[in-house]
A and B are shown apart, each in its own frame.
Chain A
Amino acid sequence: MRIRRNQRRRIVDRIMGVLSVLATVVALIPLASILIYVSAKGLSAINWDFFTKLPKPVGEPGGGMANAIVGTMILVGLASAMGIPLGILAGIYLAEFGRGRLAWTVRFICDVMTGIPSIIVGIAVYGTIVVAMKRYSAIAGGVALAIIMLPLVTRTTEEMLKLVPNSLREASLALGAPQWRTVVSVVLRSAAGGIITGVMLAVARIAGETAPLLFTALSSRYWHTGLDQRIASLPVYIYTYATTPYEDLHRLAWGAALVLLALVLVTSMAARVAGRRASGGNRG
């Protein structure tokens, strides 16, 4: 009787093991196929000119997307400069200081913001900044992306800080450290790895956003000339080129998609390394 039960357990264990491996494979199929497909389509468009030249007018062969690559970096940089510090500070407030109604309100607004479709953020920024400045600009684009990023950063920071065991906070307070110092040198450092990962996910998310840029940064065929001017970006180029009937531009769009993927990949890998270093190279 007991032997049979053990045998049954072993069989169930096997089946569950196989099922979870299968589920992982199924989950990886779309990711891998996107990577392979984009690489296959995009590689042919990638050459030196792609990274150094401006786009040519329609009909002329060649040309590159240097301005869009730089533009995407500027837009993501602008958004990060606004969204990351604000988001992390808000997350610290929620996890370490926030009690009562204000914290509840901030948390609620954050959750609502996470659910707002990005195109609506674009329209909102259009209605405020673009209308006020009377032109499309990199700043407006950066603000739109920062708004999308903010709740993601805030909530991951909060969640990561809440994972830090209370015993560490008490150890620090019991040594006579004031609360801000406890948060900075003990709590934040313990959570650094997780926060950086969360921030990178947010950066990756906004790097590919198209809709909010259509209303704010628009696009440009030229080099970036100032933050108050419209600016080119990879997602908008992908969108505009892919919707033209020209084979040549389709090819460039695939190339842009590949570059965008690579950019996101490289930044998140760099952040992983930085995160590991920030948390002291060990995780328990």
Chain B
Amino acid sequence: MNVKLLVEEFSAWYGKNQAVKDVTLPVPLHQVTAIIGPSGCGKSTLIRCLNRLHELLPGTRTKGRVMLDGQDIYSDNMDLAELRHRIGMVFQKPNPFSTMSIFNNVAAGVRVNGLRPGTKMEDIVEKSLRMAALWDEVKDRLHESPYNLSGGQQQRLCIARALAVEPEVLLMDEPCSALDPASTLKVEELIADLKSRYTILMVTHNMQQAARVADYTAFFLNGQMIEYGLTTEIFTNPKDKRTEDYISGRFG
């Protein structure tokens, strides 16, 4: 297993409340890893730590290491802009920039990080929208407001925006929780397509979704990682009683 991102003995706090407790989790290269668990189990907090958004909230603190290609992202010489360029994120609720057109939403991140010489913004935007399976739906209205799109389209726009900067890792925080079944299916197909080029770590409280798209699954409960393994193993042959109870729908 080629590990792209390794979370080691990691803990995170909101004030005195410890949301993530001593978690060690490998995220393999070019695979989809899913974190499942009931609400409040610390899964979203953990992935917000992986691009260091968690620390922006007042009173928060973390402990432990997160190794990206062997380099600790919590070390002092880590450049946050560079880190977030390498580790992209898609949020729970679609959050397109309301003041920018569809085109500029996708272009925004590229502008921040600088357009590579010899590339054209039009091409990058088209490529990203195609990867997000949105191009055909928006190609004639690139200069309209993203608010004219449906919720599912907005979320795919946010995915295109994240892809445009060509991150190495894509974090997805319950990317389908605000979407209808048809849009959910589209996003899931998209995730399956993307994994040949990206390393994907997604949080979901939808177990079927994890079973459908993830290669590896981690089960979280009360801030602790209870079990981690191949998705097929976790769902067919869980080793821990609590995992079994959760996936068989006895709680959560």
Contact = CB atoms under 8 A, between A and B. Distances in A.
Contact of A176 (B91, B95, B113): B113
B249 interface: no
Contacts of B51: 174
Contacts of A279: 99
Interface in A68-91: none
A170 B90 CA distance: 10
B56 interface: yes
Interface in B15-74: 51, 53, 56, 58
B98 A175 contact: no
B88 interface: yes
A30 interface: no
A165 to B, nearest CB: 7
B88 A168 contact: no
A189 interface: yes
Interface in B80-132: 80-85, 88-89, 91, 93, 95-101, 108-109, 112-113
Interface in A160-194: 165, 167-168, 170-178, 181, 185-186, 189-190, 192
Nearest to B113: A176
A281 B83 CA distance: 34
Given A99-B58, A171-B95, A282 B145 contact: yes
B156 interface: no
Contacts of A282: 98, 145, 147
Contacts of A175: 84-85, 88, 108-109, 112-113, 161-162, 165
Listed residue (A177, A178, A181, A190) with the most chain B CB atoms within 10 angstroms of its CB: A177
A2 B53 CA distance: 53
A229 to B, nearest CB: 44
A117 interface: no
Contacts of A165: 95
B218 interface: no
A173 B99 contact: no
Contacts of B88: 174-175
B84 A176 contact: yes
Contact of B99 (A167, A174, A177, A280): A280
B95 A280 contact: no
Interface string A265-284: 00000000000000110101
A108 to B, nearest CB: 19
Nearest to B48: A170
Given A170-B53, A176-B85, A181 B95 contact: no
A170 B112 contact: no
Contacts of B95: 165, 167-168, 170-171
A279 B108 CA distance: 16
A168 B97 contact: yes
Nearest to A282: B145
A284 B112 contact: no
A99 B58 CA distance: 9
A175 B90 CA distance: 10
29 contacts: A99-B58, A165-B95, A167-B91, A167-B93, A167-B95, A168-B95, A168-B97, A170-B53, A170-B56, A171-B96, A171-B97, A171-B158, A172-B97, A173-B53, A173-B56, A174-B53, A174-B84, A174-B88, A175-B84, A175-B108, A175-B109, A175-B162, A176-B85, A176-B109, A176-B112, A181-B112, A190-B97, A280-B99, A282-B147
Interface of A: 99, 165, 167-168, 170-178, 181, 185-186, 189-190, 192, 279-280, 282, 284
Given A171-B158, A190-B97, A280-B100, 11 more contacts: A167-B91, A170-B56, A170-B91, A171-B97, A174-B91, A175-B112, A175-B113, A178-B81, A279-B99, A280-B145, A282-B98
Ranked nearest first, the 9 interchain pairs of A and B with the lowest CB-CB distance are A175-B109, A176-B85, A167-B95, A174-B89, A176-B84, A280-B99, A177-B112, A189-B99, A171-B95
